[in-house]
Amino acid sequence: MRLTVTIKQATDGRIDLHVEELPILELYVGRVADITAVVAEAAAALTGRPKEDFTVEVGY
């Protein structure tokens, strides 16, 4: 499943994220490099699917 992520806000070392396909997820990371893994893990926990099922595309 493809997930499209956008950065809602980035301040003081916190990057708030929006996942278009799963808007119920309220996520944040400390580093851009962590976005893909955090989103895939959260989506897996929410849906019960393996994290490998998710392809994360980040829009800046």
User: Whole-model pTM above 0.85?
Assistant: yes
Asked whether residue 14 carries a pLDDT value surpassing 80, the answer given is yes
pLDDT tens digits along 17-54: 999 999 999 999 999 999 999 999 999 999 999 999 99
Of 1, 16, 12, whose CA–CA distance to 54 is shortest?
A: 1
Backbone angles phi, psi at 51, to 5 degrees: -65, -25
Of 59, 10, 8, whose CA–CA distance to 36 is shortest?
A: 59
At 60, the pLDDT band (50, 70, 90 cuts) reads confident
For 7, the domain range is: 2-59
Overall domain count for the chain = 1
At 6, the pLDDT band (50, 70, 90 cuts) reads very high
| 26-34 LR contacts (CB < 8 Å, sep 24+) | 32/58
